Amino acid sequence: MTDARSELRIAVAAFAARPRVLVAVDFDGTLAPFVTDPLQARALPGGLEALVAAAALDDVTAAVVSGRDLATLAALTGIGPDAGVTLIGSHGAQTSLGQHTNPGDPANPGDRSNLHPAGDAAFLDEEATARLNVLRGELEAIRFRYPSVRLENKPSAVVLHTRGVEPSVAAAATAAAHEVGARYAGVHVMPGKDVVELTVLEANKGNALVDLARATSSDATLYLGDDVTDERAFAALDPQSGDLTVKVGEGETVAAQRVPDPESVVALLELFVAQRRVAQGRPVQGRVAQRRVD
């Protein structure tokens, strides 16, 4: 076992022993490998199962935090209200938190989150809605010029996808999308891996995690992510207070730990479940105790 792997296992064990914790993961590039068609993305076997197992343990909140809109995220993960896993979509602009919390349980006060609930279809005011419609028209014009790019419409944003597109075309389309974002007041540009998202809401994964941790009275948060947008989440957390941040893949990061790929994310989630069971005096079940964090 390398020193880095040993250090990560020790960090996971320490985190798992804390009284009340939040375990949260990004979806694309973290639970699910990247694919050319975003709608074909699927979580690796074992990842969502480990997250559901974590949510079933005492004093553990589990969440998937994604730039995907909430409806798409629910469809891709198959996570419904009964799974006990919170979904946070649109980089924190939407949440399913209120769908499966018990208003009478002080440990799960869903109405204390300042995220927008899943059923709130009208969380954009008239001005923001008009701005979003203009952005959609602008990006449609870019797609007309560069037909190989793809667009994704979200409730509060429009996204340009360039994965698999010829590099010079991808660069030109990306630059054009950035220029559109800079031209309009009240528009936030969120670049990522082969994507540019233009949103009319100021939301980010860091604020979403802090809000969810507060809403669930969590003492510490574990977050795993791979993209530029996940750096806001890493930066919002505090390792000195017990938070654990894990970067997936290569690239500069402010995260405290790193794993190489989504397969290692599955192993880490299974390791957390095993360590949490040990900390709570429960038997460790199945392959959970045997997987390595690479």
Residue boundaries of the structural domains of the chain: 3-121+203-289, 126-199
pLDDT band at 172 (very low <50, low <70, confident <90, very high): very high
Label residue 202 by pLDDT band (50, 70, 90): confident
Please report, for residues 74, 200, 202, 215, the alpha-carbon distance to residue 114 in angstroms, rounded to integers and kept in the order given.
20, 17, 13, 9
pLDDT confidence of residue 2: 53
- What is the per-residue pLDDT for 33? 94
What's residue 103's pLDDT?
35
Q: Distances from the Cα of 30 to the Cαs of 59, 64, 66, 230, 260, in angstroms?
A: 24, 10, 10, 10, 10
Phi, psi (deg, nearest 5) at residue 121:
-80, -15
Q: Can you read off the two tokens belonging to residue 192?
A: 């990522």
Q: With residue 245 as reference, give the H or E element that holds it.
A: strand 244-248
Domain 3-121+203-289 has CATH 3.30.310.40: no
More confident residue, 142 or 106: 142
pLDDT surpassing 80 at residue 119? no
| Fold (topology level) of 126-199 | Alpha-Beta Plaits (3.30.70)
Percentage of the chain with pLDDT > 70? 86
The strands making up 257-259's β-sheet, listed across from edge to edge, are 116-117, 94-95, 85-89, 60-65, 21-25, 220-225, 244-248, 257-259
Tens of pLDDT, residue by residue over 63-102, are: 999 988 899 999 999 998 888 999 999 888 888 886 444 4
Poorest-pLDDT segment among 85-89, 103-107, 235-239: 103-107
Q: What is the pLDDT of residues 10-34, one digit of tens each?
A: 999 999 999 999 999 999 999 999 8
pLDDT at 212 (0 to 100): 95
Amino acid in the structure at residue 172: A
